[in-house]
A and B are shown apart, each in its own frame.
Chain A
């Protein structure tokens, strides 16, 4: 019985996300390096095609990095589709996407769960040493009705997408944590 309980506990815990403390130089998927002046929490096994870090917990703030995304690759994991049905479209990077379409792709990403997304600023910017785009947006999360603010950066180099987004609750968290997130993003360099 004791063994069974331990086994069940192990199976249950295996489903939990592992959180690892990260600081100093970090390399995202071998292609994008960033310097962390202070520690962040890395969510290790979330099964999504992006790197995910947080300060106060992923339910609140999220700093995401995509690195070396090739044309045809999705920004999020594709969900299971029952036999005979067409999979719902997921935000997918395509070759030669201009900045406005990159932003539309991220709008689709953050509204994929039914959340409301509104981009209120798009401007040319440099990201990871490349010419790209910076955008600011607001999200009303469908599941909790939490109001988030977000900022994103994206650039394409040699046909591959490199991008980052930071989202946090509009009330207090975003203003407090944005300088930290921007500080990290400003150090992003391609390898």
Chain B
């Protein structure tokens, strides 16, 4: 650890809470197919003494949490915060007073848990979960890491390895690669820790009355997106985490743990609290430019609900990808969305631009006029008005 430089310190702090890189797409851990109910839940954690290594880590994470709270990436929405706090209380019982959930604006799928009780949930994760049970599964898994104090174990492991990394990194590129390997082994939780977190997560999920079968679906959905760039072996192959078991195994083990009892889904509750943010998060997803991954996500969403926001997003992704065969599905989505109530103004912008490309002047004029009527103060109104001038005879 290079505590002297801000970037070095930041990197170290990130490793101290970025456990669930697993959620971000790298296969970690293997959950055994045994009854989740046999895991025991730890009592409330005492704050460690400041003169211990664990106390020092807590203090550093407290500072990092203050920085996060003040920063521009955290989403400040009282209704969403209350909802997440209530969800953690439903899962974690007496631990909920010690855990704080922060929603961070980042389009990728990830969640992390720091030893001091700071949990981060990325907006890309909230966009991807289909119901409260799936979100509860992720939060339960993160609570599992917290309850078992996995990050403290990991920090001690990291401290033991960092001196070795410094030595090897002195020797240029080969050394740097070895250093990377050491960093990789330190960045993620061990396979046993992931197993424990999965089991505790499933236990908390089922105890709170949710359908345990939703937990493996989180993994299954993520795997489907990963296959876009990683191919069929996406969950198996990873440069950094090659020693860990395949992602598909984890999904299968979770399926076995979930049982058939069923339970609460909470689809409407999640939908209600996320609705005000969905358009922003969809725009951020589109801006990532990873169109194939977005199409996998949006097609999954549209298989469940004919929502004009998802229709806009998928139509826009097809329009931006602009392959020869993308025009018909883009048009179908945008036209379908334009007929639905609550179609967002951006849908008409996208539809107008698509008609313009198809040289359908009347269609483009109609869509652009609806866009400007719905969003007269839009930042690109000037450009759209120029297009309208060119289109009108």
Do these two chains really belong together in a complex? yes
CB pair A107 B380 closer than 8 Å? no
Enumerate chain A residues within 8 angstroms of B72, measured Cβ to Cβ.
Answer: 140, 145, 147
CB pair B353 A100 closer than 8 Å? yes
Stretch at the interface among B100-108, B150-158, B305-313: B100-108
**Interface presence of A68 (CB below 8 A):** no
CB distance from A110 to the nearest CB of B (A): 9
CB distance from B281 to the nearest CB of A (A): 11
Q: How far is the CA of A120 from the CA of B381 in the complex (A)?
A: 10
CB pair B380 A100 closer than 8 Å? yes
Enumerate chain A residues within 8 angstroms of B379, measured Cβ to Cβ.
Answer: 119-122, 136
Q: How far is the CA of A150 from the CA of B193 in the complex (A)?
A: 44
Q: How far is the CA of A69 from the CA of B383 in the complex (A)?
A: 23
Stretch at the interface among A35-43, A88-96, A156-164, A182-190: A88-96
**Interface presence of A104 (CB below 8 A):** yes
**Interface presence of A152 (CB below 8 A):** no
CB pair B290 A116 closer than 8 Å? no
Known interface pairs A107-B287, A108-B288. Does A114 touch B108 (Cβ–Cβ under 8 Å)?
Answer: yes
Known interface pairs A101-B320, A116-B284, A124-B386. Does A11 touch B172 (Cβ–Cβ under 8 Å)?
Answer: yes
CB pair B231 A85 closer than 8 Å? yes
CB pair A116 B105 closer than 8 Å? yes
CB distance from A176 to the nearest CB of B (A): 21
CB distance from B316 to the nearest CB of A (A): 9
CB distance from A16 to the nearest CB of B (A): 14
CB pair A122 B382 closer than 8 Å? yes
Q: Which residue of the partner chain A has the closest CB to B230? A: A85
**Interface presence of A63 (CB below 8 A):** no
Enumerate chain A residues within 8 angstroms of B105, measured Cβ to Cβ.
Answer: 116, 140
Enumerate chain B residues within 8 angstroms of A108, measured Cβ to Cβ.
Answer: 287-289
A 118-147 to B, binary, CB cutoff 8 A, 1 in contact else 0: 011111100000000100100010100101
Given A11, A90, A123, A136, which contacts B383 in the complex, CB threshold below 8 Å?
A123
Given B73, B239, B356, B383, which contacts A82 in the complex, CB threshold below 8 Å?
B239
CB distance from A86 to the nearest CB of B (A): 5
CB pair B288 A86 closer than 8 Å? no
B 203-219 to A, binary, CB cutoff 8 A, 1 in contact else 0: 00000000000000000
CB pair A114 B287 closer than 8 Å? no
Known interface pairs A89-B291, A124-B386, A140-B72. Does A82 touch B380 (Cβ–Cβ under 8 Å)?
Answer: no
CB pair A98 B353 closer than 8 Å? yes
Given B228, B287, B382, which contacts A111 in the complex, CB threshold below 8 Å?
B287
CB pair B289 A89 closer than 8 Å? yes
Q: How far is the CA of A145 from the CA of B228 in the complex (A)?
A: 29
Enumerate chain A residues within 8 angstroms of B356, measured Cβ to Cβ.
Answer: 98
Enumerate chain B residues within 8 angstroms of A112, measured Cβ to Cβ.
Answer: 289
**Interface presence of A24 (CB below 8 A):** no
CB pair B229 A85 closer than 8 Å? yes
Q: How far is the CA of A104 from the CA of B320 in the complex (A)?
A: 8
CB pair B237 A85 closer than 8 Å? yes
Given A85, A124, A140, which contacts B73 in the complex, CB threshold below 8 Å?
A140
CB pair A99 B284 closer than 8 Å? no
Question: What interface size band does chain B fall in?
Answer: 20 to 34
Residue among B72, B239, B287 facing the most chain A CB atoms (10 A cut-off) = B287
CB pair A94 B322 closer than 8 Å? yes
Known interface pairs A101-B320, A124-B382. Does A86 touch B231 (Cβ–Cβ under 8 Å)?
Answer: yes
**Interface presence of B44 (CB below 8 A):** no
**Interface presence of B4 (CB below 8 A):** no
Q: Which residue of the partner chain A has the closest CB to B67? A: A145
Q: Which residue of the partner chain A has the closest CB to B380? A: A122
**Interface presence of B233 (CB below 8 A):** yes
Q: How far is the CA of A8 from the CA of B171 in the complex (A)?
A: 9
**Interface presence of B393 (CB below 8 A):** no
**Interface presence of B71 (CB below 8 A):** yes
**Interface presence of B358 (CB below 8 A):** no
**Interface presence of B277 (CB below 8 A):** no
CB pair B322 A89 closer than 8 Å? no
**Interface presence of A72 (CB below 8 A):** no
CB distance from A30 to the nearest CB of B (A): 29
Known interface pairs A84-B231, A140-B73, A145-B72. Does A91 touch B289 (Cβ–Cβ under 8 Å)?
Answer: yes
Q: Which residue of the partner chain B has the closest CB to A11? A: B172
Enumerate chain A residues within 8 angstroms of B9, measured Cβ to Cβ.
Answer: none
Enumerate chain A residues within 8 angstroms of B73, measured Cβ to Cβ.
Answer: 116, 140, 145
**Interface presence of A117 (CB below 8 A):** yes
Interface residues of B in 58-95 (CB under 8 A from A): 71-73
Q: Which residue of the partner chain B has the closest CB to A99? A: B383
Q: How far is the CA of A23 from the CA of B118 in the complex (A)?
A: 50
CB pair B380 A84 closer than 8 Å? no
Enumerate chain A residues within 8 angstroms of B172, measured Cβ to Cβ.
Answer: 8, 11
The 7 closest A-B pairs by CB, nearest first: A108-B289, A122-B380, A123-B382, A121-B379, A120-B379, A86-B229, A122-B383
Please list 30 pairs of residues, one from A and one from B, whose beta carbons are closer than 8 Å in the complex, sorted by A's number: A8-B172, A11-B172, A84-B231, A86-B228, A86-B230, A86-B231, A86-B292, A88-B290, A90-B289, A94-B322, A98-B353, A100-B353, A100-B380, A100-B383, A101-B320, A103-B380, A104-B320, A107-B287, A111-B288, A112-B289, A114-B108, A116-B105, A116-B106, A119-B379, A119-B380, A122-B379, A124-B382, A124-B386, A145-B73, A147-B72
Query: Given known contacts A11-B172, A121-B382, what 8 new A-B pairs fall within 8 Å (CB)?
Result: A101-B320, A103-B380, A108-B289, A114-B107, A123-B383, A124-B382, A124-B386, A142-B106
